[in-house]
Structure 1
């Protein structure tokens, strides 16, 4: 075969163009990350061998909904001709008839201009094979030259050598890294439970996640080694993950170490005894001067070198470190290995890396140095995260009170409450009369209060948090500011959540995050609380905040908070969320975390209600468990919530006991300060007591307006009787009250715009400064405030005249914000659209394709045109309009794939 200029064309290997099958666990976190791919020019996935890069790209290709050209690069393709030949064959196969015989990137670009499609993908796998070749240079120009409808995606084991800064600055680059691909602990659980169909016990999951650090190949190799085997074999294979696994040894040797220059292999083996690495640390340990350069090169090549928070500091991935230690042991023997650990400990201690130094002294069996380090630095060691303690031998933990204190805090962070209390008690005894005993005693009492009905110490943050679960969440609020600038707002946010005031909860959690002392567990708790408050207010986008907070909690070693984040995330996921919550409940029970089990049962019931209770009685069974858990633990404020939601589940299922349960939950909520729970009681009473239904619906609307809560279940889209409030935003704005159109013509233009601006926020509060900036950008602060006050009064008067004063004000003020409180029974096309899209995604994720198709169709039925077209290019509406338009396009594509 010849090219058009007479040169011989390089043969194309068809296997390199063959797209691999997509057969993997769906990971919504990665799907969400990649959802922005179509707005970029280049997507770049860079991670070490075995991280799941090809698996991810195969899923991208399978779900693209557009033509996909696939090319797997090899080092033999480094010439321009070889690269172009394969790219040409791949694109021609995917796009159809194109001009052929390209000899340059310019000819490639001109040929692509002839294609008449909307969008397509070009995926290049194993891009590292082209590093430093003319093909890599050609690829960089290809990204610049191709038409905007073609998105290029590349996967590589190392960072490309061409300049990416221009693409980053122009936001034309989507980057996916090693940490993104890493399986989180809950994804490991789902992988073995849902994909491999061989669920693991919680302790096995924890060990596997810790030893592999979520490395995809390690998880796959463990599955292959234990498939169909019993618990004893699983435990044996788990134990071998410390570097003795034959499968891991062969994989790492063949795919990582053997491909490195001898100098880098030698450096890796010699420095594997260092738990923390930096240029100066490595140079001091090895008596050299090239440590920093070698570490940076290993990082660029993605050789399992992970950067730490301190600039220039790294650590080796646990899988690689364990393997390297076995290699070192084989090379130098046991005695020399212990001596290297002792030397590494001395260097690490010199540089202030105390946890890592302690670990190395233990590996060296230098117990005298262990005692010295703990005696001098014990208090400093127990501050902050104590994940390092998991790697210490048990005899060492029982030997020193400081380590017992760290171990107790570690148990508590993981939700192992009884183990934590026992460790605090042993640490207290170990300190004797020393000052540390008082610290242990306070923490033991605060922790023990979560396991019994004894009074919790109000002056301790953990004790204060326990008290607000019982009654009157705000009772001790005057003591919170004394606990710190960040802890006070954190407790205030938690109390507002328990009381049901979502607006105040969001303000308090935001204040906590802005406080100087917000770090570690306090920051993660505030992020989780803020995301939960937004989720409960119906903001489905807040799920990403909750997931992010859970990931941060897992990184910090707060397993209890990480599980709680997953529980919160499951709330709005319908039947798929209920399955997740049920699995989490089982895990919490096995771990010994009764609080996590109670919240998981509550989330399971809520999630089933979110889907409209497809199985009668299923929500009630889960919610009854939550009621029992909270009652046994004396958490009566939380019990009121579980009981009220249980009454709503019973009323929807036609349970004759729902009326009595709802009245009981109302009484409990009143006596324990859990006002938000009454919303669910009133909704249940409206169903269970038809004679007083209208009265209870009015009460529920008033409660929803006061709290901002959005109860589980689909919003009203249409009903035989007119909805109390009806809002239409798609295709043009229209508002009806009890079926009667609201005459907006008497309102001035900016007052009408105010009503539409509040409506597009779907019941969420909008800060007055945001409103003033959008509607009166030319006015100063005082004039804008006056204009806003006049417009608000005008809108309120119009709405009250239409409703004849028979309903609470629909436009409410909350601090410095305003909110359109349409109520839980409103027919709102925007909310209905978002609900059906979310329901379709949940159903598709859970494998119920028929329900997914029905939900996607219902969403498209709601989308009757552009969002608020009368507001044209106004900045305040553009983001909402583009978001709903994108959702509609994605929904239509998803529906087409299902039909």
Structure 2
């Protein structure tokens, strides 16, 4: 071999751009495996990654070379490698291959041989020479290749080193990375909406992101934000780059294949054959794969184009740039319809505005057109069409449900334009109404299915709800049980169900994707405990949900992904995502994203007290007591760690609330918070926390995530001889202050408040202060923000005056609630941060909470097919409902929603009880329950019909006639025409 000439190597490219740790981590194995491959299409950031990786590793020698046509000459690649080894060894270049091998093995320093643009020498003698070099097996020499296609030789040969590979999907910028790129590298931060829009439109393609920056860097902030948030699928700057660079070297027949099939997200040989009218397009597909244009995830059966490239090709259809036939959209839609992919077919037709074909396709598909995720196309439909056409209106209802708005979906499905009742979509409308009602808790919804069980778990007693779901007929059942157990804190029991659901992917339902998201966020396993691994899992869920049309899941996953970033930009993105959800009326989406963010900060020892306080308020508004218990316990833990004022009261209240809601995992966290605040009982309380967590199945220990205050550290101790007295336990000598009295709060029928069985004298308390007490009683055990109290009672005053009046009222209440012998230490009414609450211990009783628990337990008993138990529990619930909530407050606006909610729930419970008693053969009990239902809610049509039917079937015609007249009077008062069939007794 000749001596190495000057210029044999190219200088390493400058280390610029955003360093992405997850990609550096993905190539870490190169140091062990000795061969790293970065294989992706042009413009994806291959060279940048190679430069970043080489710069971040302490190789003592790095040789960088960019391949070109001259390297196809025999001996050229061997010569470059020989020069690199000689430079590393500080010797003259080897003159034969054996000499080169000996010199390579004798190296005492590490050498990284980087070759970029390898695709330019693919299929030439350079590949054979590289194969020779790899077979040398020198542990101190590492190879790193960047290419548009992988080497053609067999990398699995035993004599070659193992390898790690980074591909185009890995190089794709995730939304948090796009945010960081523009904020830190380009110094031009984007809004959260702009980040998401730009990421979606460019598919995270590095070249398109850079081109966007170049095209907008001289614009104003407003113009740049508008450009980022634009809905233009492929901007002009990306058009030009793709046309001039991406397709510059693509053979015409391959480009023709791609243009004819660009409307398909997945390319298969049969699909391509049908659209091109050829017998075998497989060779062209594999050629496109070799060129690095398409990729396969299943070994070569199906292929996909990078999304930004596919959108570019779609945008050229019909503008003269594409050679595809004019009817390619209809041909593709017909092909997809024949395959049963009705959602994809409808999407293609909607994009070209062919609404007649859209309607015809829906008619042929029937109910299949309205399955989950298949109606995203309807957002393109004209509003008059949605308003006047039943099929389009039904598609809109389905889209609303998929987008996380069940109440709007139910209303849309209920208000369908009138059409022939024999048409198949009426059944689809009925099913859609029921599905939406299950989420909203309407009477029409079933309380026995997975959604009903999940709703029951959110209200409280999640462990009981999970156990009531004994059958697992599908992914939804498995998911519901897993999530219910997770809410209870039983990670050990929940994870197997979530894994089982995640391993049952089904494009018809998002259950498997929800399970994958839950596992990514909550699993405490080494393989997904790292931040990069969690983010990758969540990103995969978000992208698949987006492709399948599960838009609400996609939106939630996108916010959860931002929460994993852990920096200032990520926090801003999370806050923006939460605010957007709240503005759009998606309370659950906002709460779930906020939960992920709060959990991430807890895990990393950066807890945010105010965020947890806001999270508890979110769950309170959503009536998700079980999740509120977690937020309160986590907030108490942070308050204890930061030694905040009234931390003791918060921890006591959190423990009581978790006990009432029957969430043992949250209760364990509250015990740990108390242990920080009661040093004399720390050992006992920490033992209680550990035992409660172990019994509950809680794998993680959240109290170990937070750095506690000096002098308040927790040290494990031996098992205590006696359990420590808590809020509701009798005090023992020397155990500290006595617990607060137990309360008996009654809000149904008439307000009353008793402490330790004695009526509290409120005669000296002013009316407005008594109203404060009734508001707090309505939320007993939970916090009510002071601003809400002040605005409710003193709306006509300025903020400072209203808060002053509130403080005066609270002081007078504390004097009235003062336990005997505890002067100056009233712990029945406590302040938590900027909120107030009535404290409950385990002996306390609140009729509203007992009613809620009874209704929930009855639903669980019904789901377990235990009609007798359900009937007995509903009898108890109706006994508790002694009348409307707080009648002494008249038509107060702050009370109306709560009063109406309990009235409707009581009427519904009585109607359900009537049906149960009738099924059990107790006609008299059934009639009494139905009569109670119409007494509570005179406008309840179903209860009237049930009552009249029971009287008639039992032969009490006089009672039936009286009930009939009252029913007809009600209908007349409402202006509703009577039903002649019902009047005739049919």
TM-score, reference length from structure 1: 0.70
- Change over 3 Å in CA distance of 1:529–1:516 after alignment to 2: closer
Any conservation in 2 of the 1:44–1:155 contact (CA below 8 Å)?
yes
Alignment match of 1:671 (pick from 660, 663, 670): 660
1:761 corresponds in structure 2 to none
Q: Displacement, 1:315?
A: 4.3
- Change over 3 Å in CA distance of 1:651–1:436 after alignment to 2: same
Q: Displacement, 1:55?
A: 1.9
The answer as to 2:466 corresponding to 1:474 is: no
- Change over 3 Å in CA distance of 1:484–1:804 after alignment to 2: closer
Q: Displacement, 1:158?
A: 1.6
Alignment match of 1:136 (pick from 120, 127, 139): 127
The answer as to 2:212 corresponding to 1:222 is: yes
Distance 1:658 1:455 in 2: 44
- Change over 3 Å in CA distance of 1:327–1:455 after alignment to 2: closer
Distance 1:347 1:518 in 2: 19
The answer as to 2:213 corresponding to 1:213 is: no
- Change over 3 Å in CA distance of 1:24–1:357 after alignment to 2: same
Q: Displacement, 1:647?
A: 1.2
Q: Secondary structure at the match of 1:523?
A: helix
Any conservation in 2 of the 1:537–1:708 contact (CA below 8 Å)?
no
Q: Secondary structure at the match of 1:259?
A: coil
Any conservation in 1 of the 2:137–2:161 contact (CA below 8 Å)?
no
Alignment match of 1:76 (pick from 70, 78, 82): 70
- Change over 3 Å in CA distance of 1:693–1:354 after alignment to 2: closer
Q: Displacement, 1:533?
A: 4.1
Distance 1:290 1:514 in 2: 34
- Which structure: larger Rg? 2
1:627 corresponds in structure 2 to 616
Distance 2:444 2:434 in 1: 13
Q: Displacement, 1:145?
A: 1.3
Q: Displacement, 1:197?
A: 4.4
The answer as to 2:290 corresponding to 1:295 is: no
Deviations along 1:566-592, whole A, 9 cap, x unmatched? 777788987778677546534544565
Runs of 5+ consecutive residues of structure 2 not aligned to the other structure? 724-986
Q: Secondary structure at the match of 1:45?
A: strand
Q: Displacement, 1:84?
A: 3.4
1:116 corresponds in structure 2 to 108
2:328 corresponds in structure 1 to 340
Any conservation in 2 of the 1:109–1:145 contact (CA below 8 Å)?
yes
Deviations along 1:93-132, whole A, 9 cap, x unmatched? 5x3x343334565543322222213x44322111111112
Distance 2:287 2:77 in 1: 26
1:368 corresponds in structure 2 to 356
Q: Displacement, 1:554?
A: 2.6
Distance 2:189 2:665 in 1: 38
Q: Secondary structure at the match of 1:634?
A: coil
Q: How many residues align?
A: 711
2:17 corresponds in structure 1 to 23
Deviations along 1:814-855, whole A, 9 cap, x unmatched? xxxxxxxxxxxxxxxxxxxxxxxxxxxxxxxxxxxxxxxxxx
2:943 corresponds in structure 1 to none
Q: Displacement, 1:359?
A: 3.6
1:267 corresponds in structure 2 to 257
The answer as to 2:386 corresponding to 1:386 is: no
Distance 2:329 2:29 in 1: 46
Any conservation in 1 of the 2:192–2:576 contact (CA below 8 Å)?
no
Q: Secondary structure at the match of 1:124?
A: strand
Distance 2:371 2:397 in 1: 12
- Change over 3 Å in CA distance of 1:588–1:653 after alignment to 2: same
Q: Secondary structure at the match of 2:635?
A: helix
- Change over 3 Å in CA distance of 1:212–1:402 after alignment to 2: farther
2:245 corresponds in structure 1 to 255
Write out aligned runs for 1:178-189 (5 A): 178-189=168-179
Any conservation in 2 of the 1:578–1:605 contact (CA below 8 Å)?
no
- Change over 3 Å in CA distance of 1:666–1:510 after alignment to 2: same
Q: Displacement, 1:147?
A: 0.4
Write out aligned runs for 1:447-596 (5 A): 447-449=439-441, 457-477=446-466, 480-482=469-471, 484-513=473-502, 521-535=510-524, 540-541=529-530, 544=533, 547-557=536-546, 558=550, 560-561=552-553, 581-582=574-575, 584-586=577-579, 588-589=581-582, 592-596=585-589
1:285 corresponds in structure 2 to 275
Distance 1:253 1:556 in 2: 30
> How much is the aligned-residue C-alpha RMSD, in angstroms?
4.0
Distance 2:328 2:528 in 1: 54
Q: Displacement, 1:45?
A: 1.5
Any conservation in 1 of the 2:394–2:413 contact (CA below 8 Å)?
yes
Q: Could you tell which deviates more after superposition, 223-232 or 628-637? A: 223-232
The answer as to 2:633 corresponding to 1:641 is: no
1:35 corresponds in structure 2 to 28
Any conservation in 2 of the 1:588–1:596 contact (CA below 8 Å)?
yes
1:12 corresponds in structure 2 to 7
Distance 2:537 2:667 in 1: 31
Q: Displacement, 1:21?
A: 0.8
Distance 1:428 1:38 in 2: 66
TM-score, reference length from structure 2: 0.64
Distance 2:314 2:714 in 1: 69
Q: Could you tell which deviates more after superposition, 319-328 or 649-658? A: 319-328
Q: Secondary structure at the match of 1:331?
A: coil
